[in-house]
Amino acid sequence: MPRSKRKSSSVSPVHRHPSGAKKRAAPTPRAANPGTVWRRIKDNWRDMEKIGMNPDLGSEIARLYLFGVLTEAEASAGRLYAEICGRFHRHHGLTRASAASPAYERGYGREDEVERNIRQGTISAYERRAKAAKKAWSKLQRSIPDAQPAHDLLHRVCVLNEHAAERDHAALKLLLRKVSDAFGLGGRGR
């Protein structure tokens, strides 16, 4: 029995709709680049915090870590710097930073802490925490070079959560490494 010579199609019958039309191939999913991932985290961090995610993921320090600019120890030092600044500002009556990083907010705490401690009779515990905050602040200041641009850079990036220009990355890494070493936060990496 002779076979009929039929022209073969480039699409197998499995890849056709019941009508006979060709199915389009599904697009291959692309991996999101770090910038896209960070932007999604930054835009939705309040919702993410509600479901238990860490709000620090939306900070500038987290972005620099995600892009590979900072090591884990340097990123931890940046968060610690912001927390210590927040604690020092709260306990010593300094003005709260308006657009602050999540780590600073965690360190600063609530506005009514003094009144609450007086009311509860725990003012001595508050005074101990204030003394510890001043001690940590002094240790932090000793670990950073005594130059105003160094303090300004750390304050802008770690506390105010502002974007770090690429030209500042090397200086920021160096300063955060000094803080990391002073507080024993770990390896030197990268």
Q: What is the identity of the amino acid at 166?
A: E
Token readout for 4 is 């009929």
pLDDT score recorded for residue 153: 94
34 phi and psi angles, rounded to 5 deg? -60, -35
Residues in the chain, total: 190
Residue 87's contacts (CB-CB under 8 Å, 6 or more residues apart) are: 107, 108, 109, 129, 133, 136, 137
pLDDT score recorded for residue 111: 65
pLDDT score recorded for residue 190: 44
CB atoms closer than 10 angstroms to residue 115: 10
Whether residue 151 has pLDDT greater than 70? yes
**Residue (of 70, 43, 63) closest to 185 by Cα position:** 70
3-state helix/strand/coil string of the chain: CCCCCCCCCCCCHHHECCCCCECCCCCCCCCCCHHHHHHHHHHCHHHHHHCCCCHHHHCHHHHHHHCCCCCHHHHHHHHHHHHHHHHHHHHCCCCCCCCCCHHHHHHHCCCCHHHHHHHHCCHHHHHHHHHHHHHHHHHHHHHCCCCHHHHHHHHHHHHCCCCCCHHHHHHHHHHHHHHHHHHCCCCCCC
pLDDT digits (tens, 9 = 90+) for 69-123: 999 999 999 999 999 998 888 887 777 777 678 788 778 876 677 777 778 888 8
**Residue (of 10, 136, 190, 161) closest to 79 by Cα position:** 161
Question: Which range has the top average pLDDT, 39-43, 97-101, 102-106, 148-152?
Answer: 148-152
Distance CA(159)–CA(136), nearest Å, equals 16
Cα 111–chain centre separation? 24
pLDDT score recorded for residue 45: 63
